[in-house]
């Protein structure tokens, strides 16, 4: 079970807001899903090593960390919705009246 308060706390962590109606609806939906996912609790996993990676039977390939010259900064800046010179502009970070970065 997951209640509305918990859903709102999770949404805060994920940095999106929910309306009252959404929080209600999502808590029902999520409770139902979590209830179903709990099925795996039946499985005895004592002494089993968890698998976190998809790699099959071998290690990830490694390479030297070599610095490369990138010439794409202008194109990259074009992807941002607000820029000034060679910077991405955002609204004030601190509410101290000192303006943004």
Partner 1 sequence: MFLNETIESLHRQLVSGETTATQLVNRAFDAIAETDPQLRAFLDLDPEGAREVAKKIDEEGIKDDELYKGIPIAIKDNIVTTQMKTTAASKMLENFVSIYDATVVHKLEDAGMIIIGKLNLDEFAMGGTTETSHAHTTANAWNIQHVPGGSSGGSAAAVASGMVPVALGTDTGGSIRQPAAYNGIVGMKPTYGTISRWGVIAFASSLDQVGPMTKTVKDNAQMLNILYGQDGHDNTLATIEAKDYTEKIGHPIAGMVIGVPKETMDATLVDKHIIDCTKHALKQLESQGAVIKEISLPLLKYGVPAYYTIATAEASSNLQRFDGIRYGFRAENAQDLEDVYVKTRTEGFGEEVKIRCLLGTYMLSAERYEDYFKHAARVRTLISQDFEKAFENVDVIVTPTTTTTAPKLKEYNTVEEEAVDRYSADLLTVPVNLAGIPALSLPCGFVNGLPVGLQLIGRSFDESTLYQVGYAFEQATDYHTQHPHMMKGEESR
Residues that bind partner 1 (CB under 8 A): 2, 6-7, 10-11, 13-18, 26, 29-30, 32-34, 36-43, 45, 48-58, 60-63, 72, 75-76, 78-82, 88, 90-95, 100
Nearest-approach distance from CB 68 to partner 1, in angstroms: 11
Nearest-approach distance from CB 40 to partner 1, in angstroms: 5
Place of tokens 């992807």: 79
Nearest-approach distance from CB 25 to partner 1, in angstroms: 9
């Amino acid at each position: 079970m997951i209640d509305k308060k918990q859903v709102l706390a999770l949404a805060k962590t994920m940095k999106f807001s929910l309306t009252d109606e959404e929080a209600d609806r999502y808590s029902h939906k999520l409770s139902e899903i979590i209830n179903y996912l709990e099925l795996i609790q039946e499985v005895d996993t004592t002494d089993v090593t968890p698998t976190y990676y998809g790699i099959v039977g071998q290690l990830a390939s490694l390479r030297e960390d070599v610095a490369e010259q990138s010439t794409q900064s202008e194109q990259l800046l074009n992807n941002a919705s607000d820029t000034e010179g060679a910077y991405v502009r955002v609204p004030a970070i601190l509410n101290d009246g000192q303006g943004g970065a």
